[in-house]
Amino acid sequence: MKFNEEQEAFRDSVRRLVQRHVAPIAAEIDETDRFPAELVKVFGEMGLMQLLVPEQYGGPGGDLTMMCIAREEISRVSPACATLAGLNTMFAMPLLHFGSAAQHQRFLSPLAREGVVTATAISEPQAGSDVSAIATRAVRRGDSYVLNGRKQWCSYGCEAEFIMLYARTSDEPGAAGISAFVIEPRRMPGVTFGRHERKMGFRGAPNTPIFLDDVQVPLENLVGEEGKGFRASMRALDMNRPTIGAQCVGLAQGALDAALAYSRERKQFKRSIADFQGIQFMLADMAIQIEAARCLVYECAQAADTGDWKRLNYCASIAKCFASDMAMKVTTDAVQIFGGYGYTRDYPVERWMRDAKLTQIFEGTNQIQRAVIARELLQN
């Protein structure tokens, strides 16, 4: 992938940050499942968490290509820590596209500060792939809404200052009755969190259920019009899915780099295993798939950066689906190249394989991505 001079400089600065702050703690974060609060400050100082917040609100004013670069580089060491880069995008996008000028000033300006954590709450126990099945209710009472319900799989919600939460405001079927609200969990009574999910991978990136018990949300925290929240969530997901693809490219590249180094060092039958054609073909296939996924991801990012929203919807599903399937295969092959040692925690390839599995599930399962792609094909 060919980057311009500014993008190359940005990539190099992220790479230096990763080696200094992320690489030394990556294994420990996975082992302990500890939220790396220290990285919030580090990433915030560099503008990574708030990367897409426009300059007029004090943010860096970056684009999706820069966000993908950041996530790819960090994921070479830790895909879980990479989720902190651009974390505030899923919160900021609905505000930017559907929020009022007052909401822009009130919520986007604080994001430009260093170290503000936000979250997005869409999924529920019975509403995962089917977002339109959301059951959490928001009832208008005077100058506020009262929210009741439960959210599931909320990433970083327990650490967040602001949460973009989606709830049903009418009995209209499907997505028509869903609205978006800004929740401030530290200031709003009735918001509680369950225990952290005990995950196979992406450890250190907490996922917790949210319980809403008569939570009063001011009218001014409604984002856009009533019943337009589903559209807001879909735009945010379209913007975020390419960055999942970038994470997949990064973690796969990390696995390939490790497998290359190990294959040169490991001796069997008095030769490096890299001398055997069976290993060489595995390495070649890994490189082919990574490069193909990288091209898809940045083609998709370019569509977003040029405002080609129709193409973005289609490309986002392709990039996320292909890259995550690729990451699962590449990391599995990396474990195979390491042999028995690859199955131990002494080497990072088993961690990357566990991380890769989640990328095929979150931000829309790959089955859903294929359904989106097929729908686009059949409509044309």
Tokens found for residue 59: 């943010």
Half-sphere exposure of 210 (CA within 13 A, CB side): 37
- pLDDT score recorded for residue 160: 97
pLDDT band at 232 (very low <50, low <70, confident <90, very high): confident
pLDDT digits (tens, 9 = 90+) for 249-295: 999 999 999 999 999 999 999 999 999 999 999 999 999 999 999 99
Tell whether pTM > 0.85.
yes
CA–CA distance, 282 with 341 (Å, rounded to integer): 17
Instruction: List the beta bridge partners of residue 137.
Output: 148, 168
- Cα–Cα distance list, 181 to 100, 225, 226, 373 (Å): 13, 10, 10, 29
> Backbone dihedral region of 142: left (phi > 0), alpha (psi from -120 to 50 degrees) or beta?
left
Proportion of the chain in helix, strand, coil states, percent, rounded to 5: 55, 15, 30
DSSP summary character for residue 204:
T
Residue whose structure tokens are 């530290």 = 186
- pLDDT score recorded for residue 76: 98
CA dihedral 245, 108, 165, 118 (to 10 degrees): 60
User: What rounded mean pLDDT belongs to the chain?
Assistant: 95
**Average pLDDT for 90-108:** 93
Extract the runs of DSSP E, i.e. beta strands, from 20-135. 118-121
Annotated catalytic residues are 363
- pLDDT score recorded for residue 184: 97
Q: Give the residue, 295 or 173, on which the prediction is more confident.
A: 295
Whether residue 239 has pLDDT greater than 90: no
Whether residue 380 has pLDDT greater than 80: no
- Cα–Cα distance list, 42 to 38, 114, 118, 168, 317 (Å): 7, 8, 16, 37, 31
